[in-house]
Amino acid sequence: MTDSNPLLQPIDDRAAWSALLARVRRDTLEQSWAYGEAVAAVSRTRPERWLLLDGNGETIGLAQAFRRRFGAFGSLVRIVRGPLFLPGIGRAARLAALGALRQQYRWRQKHTLLWWLPELPGGAESESLMRELGLEQMITGWSSVRLDLTPAPAVLRGQLDGKWRNALKAAERSPLLLDENWDDTTFSTVMQAHDVQRIEKRFLGPDGAFYRAFAAAADPALGDSAHLFTAKIGSRPVAGMLLLRHGRGATYAAGWSSEPGRLVRAHHRLLWHGLLALKNLGVEHFDLGGANTEEGAGVARFKLGLNGEVFTLAGSFA
């Protein structure tokens, strides 16, 4: 137990963490064990992992926080898309656990500045809740698209937007060859292109070094894995896509397409192929990794074409 929070218990057992994450209905990439290990591998930030308990000491959820120390100045702690709760946990127990996390990372006690993007829906109720915890909204809601992968492939295909489905049909008639074998050379090619796009388009997401660290930390037997899909014309890669599996879910991580790849709609075929491959692995839900209709309208349209569930979180608080 912690010295001040009887509703929190530290955990360093990866197998137990992964088993608990697999019980969460809609887990998130940022709360996976491999994500925490990747953050630690590429930065001076370290994960802190907690079991959330109810008043009877029963586990009701989990939370992964990320601490970066600044010597005598204190620490910055980030909680991203957490905590996550098991199904059927009542509102009172959830509120108590949120309060325990807030207490654990309070400035006056431990010189800790908390930056929190909770896995809470956007709206007045969530904003009011976070204010009750002494936090103010710093950034407005973050949006993404979630796709339910449990229906049959034919049903999933029928749900696609008409233009998206037509682009997929065109890609399937093209000379594209798909490859899902992990190859370090191809991975480097895709990540280098991704890093160039990050700079040119000012993406805020992780870089290639982080994704390489995630792949190294992933353990498929415990629910974490990285999947690289490439499209080739002849022997030349023209597009690539990296999808990350975590618990019962998976997330779109990075993608790249050359001009020849764009001409034959390679991304449509890669994503569709990747979704079916994840479904065959037992993945139940897929997060498109953000949908910014203002700064990335083209990418957002591509993601929205899957006709998944658009959702918006409450935003970031400090």
Close Cβ partners of 270 (under 8 Å, ≥ 6 residues apart): 178, 229, 230, 231, 239, 240, 241, 255
Strand partners of residue 84: 62
Query: Which of 86-90, 218-222, 295-299 comes out lowest in average pLDDT?
Result: 295-299
Residue 41 · residue 141 · CB < 8 Å: no
Measured distance between the N- and C-terminal CA atoms of the chain, rounded to whole angstroms: 25
Residue 94 · residue 55 · CB < 8 Å: no
Bridge-based pairing of strands 225-233 and 236-246 is: antiparallel
d(CA 305, CA 226): 24
pLDDT at residue 183 above 90? no
Token pair, residue 90, equals 């009542």
d(CA 178, CA 165): 18
The pTM score is: 0.94
Bridge-based pairing of strands 177-179 and 236-246 is: unpaired
Give pLDDT, residue 203.
Answer: 76
pLDDT at residue 72 above 90? no
Strand partners of residue 309: 146
Give pLDDT, residue 204.
Answer: 76
d(CA 48, CA 1): 14
User: Radius of gyration of the chain from Cα atoms?
Assistant: 20
How much is the average pLDDT of 107-115? 83
Q: What percent of the chain is predicted at pLDDT more than 70?
A: 96
